[in-house]
Structure 1
């Protein structure tokens, strides 16, 4: 059987192991340490955000931000509909009611028109949302300018979930450089990885420092263990941070490879009229975290699931587009503004293997299976 092609495996550039060796040599085999400090400094420079805090996951970063905002039972939090569940789960754990916003066709990210509708509806009810979570989807920034303006007009903090978008751009701004605060993920399948990890960023230094304290069990500055509030153990390991230091050195290379892979698939399959691709917004540059095709049911009888199974039969991993949050059983009955676009993208979309280590032979393998599957129906 041919070697396995994974959806989005980690890509090591060569310096990560040396950074880990340095961390071991320092004997900081613990949360916090010099590699955490170094990783934060390098990351801050990379995204242009002056205040950052390395954490155990992007979900932890969101949890700390909702804690900072005092999200609790009876509150509402507005969130992108087409996303991974972690974008909203911490708010729901805190007791909030989610309200979802459909995406638009041009970017697949939060539709500002529908967000305006949701904010006006909340205003009429006299129930201002505690936050808006706008997701930078599959490596593409949402419409920062319009969404920021809407949130400012209604006095609602904007959190940018840039978990999938490190290295992407919105105009001259880096992904996550918007709103009140932003979060990033370093899970094993993301643009860079620390095995598991995340980052919280904000231009408000107080927000970041309070999050840092809460991530360390809210321990006070005393010789003994003193706590005036309950915190969390959300710190990033010094060893994991060392991987991140090594990975950040190759960020531009990884993004260039991801973009080349997307272009490679499109070139190989451009003659198949039933296939279209996730568009790139004119407002910025996507990091092309994952390459996603759409199959138009008006032009072909083949479904994304049939293509996925054909790929799997050849030892190639692919995956459906995120299932919309409003369609998830756990959120049955939740308010959603729109929803038809997210549902269509879920029905018609398939994420193709997009690891930065893929070569031309790998792209040829994937494209050949897709082509044969479409031709067979």
Structure 2
């Protein structure tokens, strides 16, 4: 926490607005709209998953529709497709960003068209805070006139060509879950290009209530609005966002220097100057026979250093094993070779020394 969150939570209690209405929500949305830039209209919701679900609803995704999804991601990026009984078409990664492969994406689009069903949407993820190949993905989206849902759940503060992630999609989402670079305890936003779309998002997120005086409903809505208390946490967190990004990027510099002398350990890094990652998570890929992912993880664990495996791609999950998949299993190879390293904004110099010692003890 940054320190000022309690001030805004107290404001919610003092004004007796603690649920889904109140000044904190309005201020939080305004701060984010200013941060993201012109033509960004923000609706604050209960989660990033809710935001993806509503994005699909706004695009009129229905039962049986095709939705192209990035396979290498957390399951919440794809589950909302199933909520609507639509059909996920899974697409592999390309190696430089870990994100949606443009060639495999176009193959998937052509397959859908051959089946006589143009996809209703493409969901592209900026995994671990790294922007996807925006120019190439947008070109395909526009070429085939398929709306792009930008899943920047992990990428607040990241940029592509100096433009903020969360502003490239026809609809975009960001998450404020407890593990993200800043948090509202649980929450997310849906970003659109117009006030009209923002208003409809809020309408759907508040049970599609049509009348201020009594409960009138003509279509399905959801209980997806953020609370005034959570939005208050978000207001305080936005005050320290730049500090958090700086800390995460400093972690990456530490890891870059640490792994320079290891030819068979590769740190996941920005592929070019176009990409600016918040480095929400730092990831290594392990090559060669000397290093073993499970052994390395156990060495870190014995030194009270937490590591985690990468997201298991959707096409390798039991839930999605029957889905059509386009690609050559690049993301599966990443899952086999990769580890997520400690990446919190509060890692101390002592923590870094322990990580360094554990790594060199393992090599020696």
- Which of the five TM-score ranges fits, normalised by the shorter chain? over 0.9
Give the Cα–Cα distance (whole angstroms) in 1 for the partners of residues 168 and 258 of structure 2.
36
- The TM-score normalised by the length of structure 2 is 0.96
Which 5+ residue runs of structure 1 have no aligned equivalent? 1-11
Alignment of 1:1-377 (within 5 A): 12-48=1-37, 49-282=39-272, 283-296=274-287, 298=288, 300-373=289-362, 375=363
Q: Which has the higher contact order (CA 8 A, sep 6+)?
A: 1
- On the 8 A contact 2:42/2:189 being kept in 1, the answer is yes
TM superposition shift of 1:15: 1.6
State the SS of the aligned residue for 1:221.
coil
Instruction: Report Cα offsets for 1:235-255 as digits up to 9, x if no partner.
Output: 101011011001111111100
- The CA deviation string for residues 178-217 of structure 1, in whole angstroms up to 9 with x for no partner, is 1210001000010110000000001133222111101001
Query: Is the contact between residue 81 and residue 339 of structure 1 (CA under 8 Å) also seen in structure 2?
Result: no
Take 1:306 and 1:237, find their aligned partners in 2: how far apart are those partners? 44
Deviation of the 1:221 alpha carbon: 2.5
Runs of 5+ unmatched residues, structure 2: none
Q: Once the 2 structures are TM-superposed, how far is the Cα of residue 333 of structure 1 from its aligned partner? A: 2.1
Task: Say which SS state the counterpart of residue 285 (structure 2) adopts.
Answer: strand
Q: Provide the secondary structure at the position in 2 that maps to 1:138.
A: helix
Is the partner of 2:174 in helix, strand or coil?
strand
Q: TM-score, normalised by structure 1?
A: 0.93
Deviation at 1:361, TM superposition (A): 1.0
Question: Would the aligned equivalents of 1:79 and 1:99 in 2 still touch at CA under 8 Å?
Answer: yes
SS in 1 for 2:129: coil
1:140–1:281 contact (8 Å) kept in structure 2:
no
Q: Give, in whole Å, the separation in 2 of the partners of 1:155 and 1:44.
A: 26
2-structure distance, mates of 1:170, 1:44 = 18
- The 8 Å contact of residues 326 and 339 in structure 1, kept in 2 or not, is answered as no
Aligned residues: 362
Distance 1:32 1:307, change over 3 A: farther
